[in-house]
């Protein structure tokens, strides 16, 4: 899959997760030290840290958020590919 969507939405503060998208700019992530997606290991930073980077307009945020979304999409596509090959979907 070749798409600019994971990086585009990352730049605007939207992180992909197994439970649904996380809008990291929301204040509830200020003190949330949990991983971005506990069910999908991507980058070793907390939601709170990414919230801080986003609010401070740090360029590192765009890199980390894009990396997270790309890893998430890669793992999601691998899971879907496996299910297709096993005739589960």
pLDDT for 2 beyond 90: no
pLDDT for 5 beyond 80: yes
pLDDT for 51 beyond 80: yes
Q: How many residues in total does the chain contain?
A: 89
Dihedral of the alpha carbons of 72, 76, 77, 83, in degrees to the nearest 10? 160
Contact 1, 77 (CB under 8 A): yes
* Tens of pLDDT, residues 6-31: 999 999 999 999 999 999 999 999 99
């Amino acid at each position: 899959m070749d798409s600019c969507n994971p990086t585009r939405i990352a730049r605007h503060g939207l992180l992909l997760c197994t439970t649904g998208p996380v809008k990291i700019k929301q204040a509830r992530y200020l003190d949330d030290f949990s991983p971005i997606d506990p069910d999908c290991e991507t980058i070793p930073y907390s939601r709170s840290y990414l919230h801080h980077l986003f609010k401070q307009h740090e360029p590192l945020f765009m890199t980390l958020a894009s990396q997270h979304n790309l890893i998430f999409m890669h793992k999601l596509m691998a899971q879907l590919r496996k299910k297709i090959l096993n005739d589960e979907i």
